[in-house]
Structure 1
Amino acid sequence: MIFEYMEKYDYEQLVFCQDKNSGLKAIIAIHDTTLGPALGGTRMWTYATEEEAIIDALRLARGMTYKAAASGLNLGGGKTVIIGDPRKDKNEEMFRAFGRFIQGLNGRYITAEDVGTTVADMDLIHMETEYVTGVSPAFGSSGNPSPVTAFGVYRGMKAAARVAFGTDSLEGKTVAVQGVGNVAYHLCRYLHEEGAKLIATDINQDNVYRVVQEFGAQAVGVQDIYGVECDIFSPCALGAIINDETIPQLKAKVIAGAANNQLKEDRHGDMITEMGLIYAPDYVINAGGLINVADELLGYNRDRALKKVETIYDNILRVFEIAKRDGIPTYKAADRLAEERMESVKRSRSTFLRNERNILNRTIR
């Protein structure tokens, strides 16, 4: 079954890592390294079964391939899951042992922080390998990625507005933000500075109070956010929130937000397209964090990273161009953007040879 799944989506490698002393049980999935080494975070979670952990690692790794490719990065997609409770099962040797496994892959996979892991965990991994990002700033990290991710979403939202309204100005536009945590707080700041009107909700009332006080947002209930009168609906919390129940309530013209996996099913992307809604695909618009952390591989330069994040604007416009060209919804056009770039690189690499290891070493060092 696992090999069938891997063959279906053309995965390259699945690595099982076990260390009895520390209790480490990790699975590294490497989907595609056409564009460069696979980069993807390490997630620690209490999976019900080993099979569930494997499928999650594979699914997440493939998503990273598409995000990196669509963002114009010279990186492939990978992901790690560690089976365990991040609240009580962590120990130093676990992450150091895992770092040695990463080092053994000799640069094919580079890890980062993800759900259930922290900067401190990355520092432990860094003790054993250089193939890790998101470490403490003292080791050359870019620090908190939330403001940069928000900047990318803001740029992508402006591009979507240009398609929907004929101008990318958000002044006077009403934006309904679902979930105003770390990323969305900074997004609200950008929107407020441009003169947008904000409607906000969050399960954490302190988050809502903060954007009401600082940015003059209008607060609404968690279930009320879908039906408010607005120009742009910005989902920045949970995934699967574009679904059969919420779509009929939407009054926005544009959907553009930071949340992952916003469409519950592909058919919901078809539904909103048929309704005439302008949808900025999530993994294209929220790629600022990945772009930012990828810059660490070059020796982090914030100005350079932000310049690259600005190109999310162009990437979103390119998605809409492909959707129009091929007569497909934008969620499919985003995949096509990534696939066309990977295919183009595959064709060009067939015409010459080069030393990938030396190139990688120059990048990392």
Structure 2
Amino acid sequence: MFDHPAFDGHERVVALNDAATGLRAFVAIHSTALGPAGGGCRLWHYEDAGAALGDALRLSRGMSYKNALAGVPMGGGKAVILGPVPDERRADVFTAFGRAVDALNGRYVTAEDVGVAPADLAHVATVTRYVSGIVAREGVGGNPAPFTARGVCIGLEAAARFAFGRRDLEGLRVAIQGLGGVGMNLAAALHARGARLVVADLATARRDEACDRFAATPAALDEILLADVDILAPCALGGVLTEDIARRMRAGVIAGGANNQIADAAAERALFERGITYAPDYVVNAGGIILVSAEYTRDGDLAAVDARIEAIGPRTRRILEAARTTGTPSGTVADEMARAALAGARVAA
């Protein structure tokens, strides 16, 4: 693990193996400098345990950076459960996961991520209080997906203004890859703003629903990243923007809800050299963790949550302008800002 390319001085990485339920998982705590490590739990069918570990390491670091730039009083962590999990054992698996979270004594606070539903978190909540994103209090809390989508839309608008000099999205072509909770909510918001949508999803039913509701054009999964559009919004899994894709894609702006969209430094450099505007994923998709944090800490009402999400737009613009001024890719600029915030918090602690 210590030699893994995604290892970044993580404070703690826990491997979970519960023979009674079949739970196999990793919990990665990247940093608690700003507070308890906050980050969702992902359930996915990984190629092997090494791939799951790498995902947990990358995602937890991204949560540290996301929370630091969003001003959220939480550090960064992430859990991944190795699937598949049979339906008849699902409740037991998530209850066992909840007990493991509880054993960390508040160093990690879990929530919803890809493959995990509110019903799963309800089982987690029966055995630990270190869980969020399930109960709304005066509008603050519950399902974070709509809030994540709202932040992505705000960041996307800021990136479009930066790249195209546009004050609105009317008539712009936007390709959305992935129509889960975030992607479908983003599609609704963009359609309301007059954007023309191209959509793709593993589930053809969700793709067809988006086409019916938003007059979207369907696309194949292996084609949407190269679609002839103005803006690409990856809202599925990470690592989709490889160097090959970066050199062939036609969109002028990238702004989506998926974490870790860019596969590696070579892909990031290729995007920058081609003049493609990239709104760093953990900057624009912070709306969900802003809500989850407010629910967990009971810090602020819905108006305060809304104000923090609205701040995603100006923050995105500042990062893109700094990238242009310094000749540095926007992802690198955001990383440097986040690391500086974390370093300052460690010194203060």
1:334 matched to which residue of 2? 334
Using the alignment, how far apart are the partners of 2:245 and 2:5 within structure 1? 33
Using the alignment, how far apart are the partners of 2:255 and 2:311 within structure 1? 16
1:361 matched to which residue of 2? none
Q: Map 1:153-192 onto structure 2 (within 5 A).
A: 153-192=152-191
Quick check: 1:312 aligned with 2:312? yes
Using the alignment, how far apart are the partners of 1:12 and 1:127 within structure 2? 27
Q: CA deviation at 1:158?
A: 0.8
Q: CA deviation at 1:5?
A: 4.8
Question: 1:162-221: per-residue Cα shift (whole Å, max 9, x none)?
Answer: 211224421232223333343222212222222222233334443333333332323344
Q: CA deviation at 1:276?
A: 1.0
Q: Map 1:147-158 onto structure 2 (within 5 A).
A: 147-158=146-157
Q: Map 1:255-294 onto structure 2 (within 5 A).
A: 255-294=254-293
Q: CA deviation at 1:272?
A: 1.2
1:123 matched to which residue of 2? 122
Structure 1 window deviating more from structure 2 (209-218 vs 311-320): it is: 209-218
2:109 matched to which residue of 1? 110
Q: CA deviation at 1:256?
A: 1.4
2:141 matched to which residue of 1? 142
Tell me if structure 2 keeps the 8 A contact 1:258–1:282.
yes
Q: CA deviation at 1:9?
A: 1.6
Scaled by the length of structure 1, the TM-score of the pair is 0.82
Using the alignment, how far apart are the partners of 2:128 and 2:170 within structure 1? 47
Using a 3 Å threshold, how does the CA distance of structure 1 residues 7 and 202 change in structure 2: closer, same or farther?
A: closer
Using a 3 Å threshold, how does the CA distance of structure 1 residues 246 and 36 change in structure 2: closer, same or farther?
A: same
Using the alignment, how far apart are the partners of 1:265 and 1:40 within structure 2? 22
Q: Please, which runs of 5 or more residues in structure 2 have no aligned partner?
A: none
Tell me if structure 1 keeps the 8 A contact 2:140–2:291.
no
Tell me if structure 2 keeps the 8 A contact 1:120–1:136.
no
- SS for the counterpart of 1:106 is coil
Aligned AA (2:327):
G
Tell me if structure 1 keeps the 8 A contact 2:243–2:268.
no
Scaled by the length of structure 2, the TM-score of the pair is 0.86
Aligned AA (1:11):
H
Tell me if structure 2 keeps the 8 A contact 1:45–1:86.
no
Quick check: 1:346 aligned with 2:346? yes
Using a 3 Å threshold, how does the CA distance of structure 1 residues 45 and 138 change in structure 2: closer, same or farther?
A: same
Using the alignment, how far apart are the partners of 1:20 and 1:265 within structure 2? 36
Using the alignment, how far apart are the partners of 1:287 and 1:80 within structure 2? 17
Q: Please, which runs of 5 or more residues in structure 1 have no aligned partner?
A: 351-365
2:241 matched to which residue of 1? 242
1:354 matched to which residue of 2? none
Q: CA deviation at 1:337?
A: 1.9
Identity level (%): 40
Tell me if structure 2 keeps the 8 A contact 1:28–1:80.
yes
Using the alignment, how far apart are the partners of 1:231 and 1:84 within structure 2? 36
Structure 1 window deviating more from structure 2 (260-269 vs 141-150): it is: 141-150
Aligned AA (1:233):
L
Q: CA deviation at 1:18?
A: 5.0
2:322 matched to which residue of 1? 322
The RMSD of aligned alpha carbons is 3.1
Using the alignment, how far apart are the partners of 1:186 and 1:7 within structure 2? 31
Aligned AA (1:160):
A
Tell me if structure 1 keeps the 8 A contact 2:36–2:107.
yes
Using a 3 Å threshold, how does the CA distance of structure 1 residues 194 and 325 change in structure 2: closer, same or farther?
A: same
Q: CA deviation at 1:76?
A: 0.7
Tell me if structure 2 keeps the 8 A contact 1:238–1:260.
yes
Using the alignment, how far apart are the partners of 2:153 and 2:6 within structure 1? 37
Using a 3 Å threshold, how does the CA distance of structure 1 residues 336 and 94 change in structure 2: closer, same or farther?
A: same
- SS for the counterpart of 2:133 is coil
Tell me if structure 1 keeps the 8 A contact 2:152–2:255.
yes
Aligned AA (2:101):
I
Aligned AA (1:334):
A
Aligned AA (2:71):
G
Aligned AA (1:307):
A
Structure 1 window deviating more from structure 2 (285-294 vs 131-140): it is: 131-140
Tell me if structure 1 keeps the 8 A contact 2:118–2:143.
no
Structure 1 window deviating more from structure 2 (196-205 vs 122-131): it is: 196-205
